[in-house]
Amino acid sequence: MSSPRQAAHALLNLVLNEGRLLSEAPAQKTLADLPGADRARAQRLALETLRNIERADKVLKPHLRKTPPPEVMNLLRLGTVELAQGGDAHGVVNDLVNIIAEHRKFGGMKGLVNAVLRKAAADAPEKFEIFRIPRLPKWLRGPLARAYGPEAVAAMEAAHHAGAPLDITVKSDPAAWAETLGGTLLPWGSIRLPDAGQMTSLEGFEAGAWWVQDAAAALPAKLLDAKPGETALDLCAAPGGKTMQLAAAGAQVTALDISESRLERVRQNLTRTGLEAEIICADALAHEGSFDAVLLDAPCSATGTIRRHPDLPHAKTGEEFGALIELQARMLAHAATLVKPGGRLVYCTCSLLPDEGEVQVEEFLEGHPDFRADNSGFEPLGLSSEWTTEEGGLRLRPDYLADQGGMDGFYIAVLKRA
């Protein structure tokens, strides 16, 4: 059985050397044999290292004559970040030296790892406080700076580096649950738990009273405003947070996703919460029907989730985004055909890129005169008028509500059919 540091090192190699995301199967397999507490620790070590690679590399540079092989460099980064954040120098260094010593290819570099980390232990804590907050890679920072300006991007980077608190959505009575769990109730009903600890041990989890869902991710279903007895379709439904919101509102919900394995997660969540929905495994572009309310959380770059997924900027390059943007336009056009006259469609993406949000809806409205953007539901949910975009959508960013822990980057548009 591997240790948390061994697992964290393996996760870093997957992301930085192979371009894998931590949500993918190889990463999950790496964690599978660890006990719960060790699994959480391994993930935390890997995430903190990914958030601080720029700083770690700056600390390490004076102590390296040349850059070592990637696996060794990742181990040095892991140790440097842990040391900078107060890790016990003796324990960290000895453990990582033992890990590299067992490596069949790089075991001979244990002396280098020992020497470099002992030097890093002396200066990493102080230098980390001096170095700037790590920046996004150029392939992403450039487009965001053009869209929002450099000051806004710097604020987003600060939010990414700070990480994310735990947000939950409850089936009913959010005020009472916020008091029970000691959380902060946000204006639209999400509950924020800054120091939640072990999620599954919290009151109400086993009983299915609530589920984890970022505060921004809870807004699309809130804005769709499904009524009891209405028919609602959740396209690209997995893992099911929005499906559960619609079901809890009393709608007759159809949850559709192209992945059977991901739909199993939806089934599990519905079972735990005691909520019901019809589940269909199919291609959203081929689905037919007529619904009062349709929610399309389209496949996207996920660039709005970096505060929770700092692996994304390291595992992606932006090259695949063009195909995603084309798919989004096709899915949005098809979703419109599923909306009853007088019904409504919510289009959303967890992306910071306007091409996946504002531009998509602007072009959709130009080609669909029977739809209009409706932002009348924004103010009742306590959403700032500054977040409303020119075409009538809602732009959320990680730096919004920064003093309360921020939120994921999202674009949301409510589109009503005549």
At position 39, the amino acid (one-letter code) is R
**pLDDT for the residue 282:** 96
Q: What is the pLDDT of residue 33?
A: 87
Domain ranges of the chain: 4-130, 214-417
Domain 214-417 in CATH 1.10.357.10? The answer is no
Q: For residue 19, how many other CB atoms are within 10 A of its CB?
A: 13
Q: What is the pLDDT of residue 318?
A: 87
Residue 169: its H or E element: strand 166-170
This prediction has a pTM of 0.94
Residue in 236, 300, 348, 350 annotated catalytic: 350
Residue 148 token pair: 């929002």
Q: Which three-class secondary structure state does DSSP give residue 325?
A: helix
pLDDT (0 to 100) of residue 196 = 65
What is residue 170's predicted lDDT score, i.e. its pLDDT? 98
The fold of 4-130 is N-utilizing Substance Protein B Homolog; Chain A (1.10.940)
Contact residues for 282 (Cβ-Cβ < 8 A; gap 6+): 256, 258
**How confident is the model at residue 27, as a pLDDT?**
87
Reported in sequence order, the residue ranges of 229-370 that DSSP labels E, i.e. its strands, are 231-235, 252-257, 278-281, 291-297, 339-349
The DSSP bridge partners found for residue 280 are 256
Contact 54, 67 (CB under 8 A): no
Residues of the chain with pLDDT under 70: 1, 196
Distance set, CA 319 to CA 275, 324, 360 (Å): 39, 10, 19
281 is catalytic: no
Establish how many alpha carbons lie within 13 A of residue 46's alpha carbon, considering only the half-sphere containing its beta carbon: 32
**What is the DSSP secondary structure assignment for residue 94, as one 8-state letter?**
H
